Amino acid sequence: MTDHKHLKRLVRERSTRTGESYTTARRRVVAARTAARPPQHQPSDLVRRLLLAAGTGLSEPMVCGLGGGIGFMAAVFDYRGMPPILTVVAQHHPAPWAPTVLARLGVPFTESRSTAPAAALKALRLSLAGGRPVYCTVTASRLPWRTVTVPVDADPHGILVMDEHPDGFAVHDDGPRRLPVDAFMEAWSAHRKGRHHRLVVTDGTPTVPLSTAIRAALAETTAHLTGPVLGNAFDANFGFAGMTRLASQLRDTRTKAGFVRRFAEPSAFAFVLRRLHECLEEQHTAPGATRPLYAEFLDEAAALTGHPHLTEAASAFRSSAAVWSAMATTARQSSTADPTTVFTTLADLLDHARTIEEAAIPLLQPPA
């Protein structure tokens, strides 16, 4: 509450000083505050920087929410020479983050791909020469500063290419980095489905009112948590249905699909627990399964849309965030415990998080 009062005072002071409306002043104060702290969500931080370079300042929580914010997808994949790999995506999925946010704001941008490395490199350098950072999709496992548990080249990862220097490209990922041209090209070429993908903002001025973009994002987040996402059988892995299914698999001690049998080997058991912790706190997410950052977005959105129930929703998602983090902590600390007990505990926590979030869904939709 004290922090809330302090924020209101800063907003009023800015509004008086600049002549901006309270809503505009609040958005800019919040954007400045969140920009000063370490990033929480890598995709949202990159898009925030892309927009800022084009002249539009938004906070990281706002960008996160506009991208869809939270979601859920869980599936187990099999790769040769590795134990079964659990993947949980706790952020909104599967729409690509940068195009989704920019399109929702009505910010013009171009997307391109090239099969020939030389043509792609030439186009990238042309954009940089025009003073525009370029959002590029690469393979994370090919970046020397990233430790990746599952080195799959098909897994896309966005970075910003900011400039070129004699020793290579200046890029931004989890911070500013330098990457030799050859090393960059290896990572850029490895993601075969989207080889040499690049995105450039051509005009940073949004053409969609922010309140309208917020409402659209809230509607999509709600729809994808409660209903179909892809329109096919894989939807059983998404949203609340996916949470219910995963809880059932965690409790299943009889079938091959149950986690007790599927991860019976001690090494596989330790691996799946480590992977669950990563997915809820580090990869394809922000800490706390992205829920704390989404709660910040909802607080901002409440002020911008005039919909006070969003602050109630923010409180609910902060509560569920604590449960998701408890799941991650349980997974990290339980590799030597009894598997049936561990998986049952995780299932109970998952059910608890789902119950909180199901109750919060009606609060997410502002009145028409």
| pLDDT at residue 37, rounded to an integer | 79
Q: Mean pLDDT check: name the lowest of 30-34, 54-58, 287-291, 329-333.
A: 30-34
For the segment 251-263, the average pLDDT, to the nearest whole number, is: 96
User: Distance of alpha carbon 254 from its chain centroid, rounded?
Assistant: 35
Mean pLDDT score, 159-165: 96
pLDDT at position 6 is: 54
Mean per-residue pLDDT, 82-106: 95
Question: What's the pLDDT tens digit per position in 289-304?
Answer: 999 999 999 999 998 9
Q: Specify the range with the lowest mean pLDDT, choosing from 29-43, 62-76, 298-312.
A: 29-43
Position 151 confidence tier, pLDDT thresholds 50, 70, 90? low
The mean of the pLDDT values for the chain is: 91
- For 97, half-sphere exposure in the C-beta direction (CA atoms, 13 angstrom radius) is 28
Answer whether residue 343 shows pLDDT above 70. yes
Q: State the Cα–Cα distance between residues 335 and 46, nearest whole angstrom.
A: 34
Percentage, residues of the chain above pLDDT 70: 91
pLDDT band at 20, cuts 50/70/90? confident
Which residue(s) pair with 281 in the sheet? none
Q: What is the mean pLDDT of residues 172-186?
A: 95
Sorting pLDDT into bands at 50, 70 and 90, what band is 265? very high
- Judged against a pLDDT cut of 50, whether residue 2 lies above it is answered with no
pLDDT band at 155 (very low <50, low <70, confident <90, very high): confident
Residue 31: the pLDDT is 62
Task: Output the pLDDT for position 184.
Answer: 97
The per-residue pLDDT for 152 is 59
Model pLDDT for residues 217-233, shown as the tens digit of each residue? 999 999 999 999 999 99
Q: Across residues 240-253, what is the average pLDDT?
A: 98
pLDDT of residue 367: 65
In the numeric block, which tokens belong to residue 351? 């059910």
Whether residue 125 has pLDDT greater than 70: yes
Q: With contact defined as beta carbons under 8 Å apart, do 363 and 129 qualify?
A: no
pLDDT tier, 7 (very low <50, low <70, confident <90, very high otherwise): low
Please indicate whether residue 174 or residue 25 has the higher confidence score (pLDDT): 174
- Quote the CA–CA distance of 214 and 204 in Å, as a whole number: 18
- Determine phi and psi for 252, rounding to 5 degrees: -70, 115
Question: What span, in angstroms and rounded, lies between the C-alpha atoms of 294 and 214?
Answer: 12
> Contact, 65 vs 44, CB < 8 A?
no
Handedness of CA 179, 185, 190, 194 (dihedral sign): positive
> Does the pLDDT value for residue 211 go beyond 50?
yes
- What does the chain come to in residues? 368
Q: What is the pLDDT of residue 33?
A: 61
- Please state, in angstroms and rounded to a whole number, the distance separating the CA atoms of residues 349 and 320: 10
CA 246 to chain centre: 20
Lowest mean pLDDT among 12-21, 24-33, 117-126, 232-241: 24-33
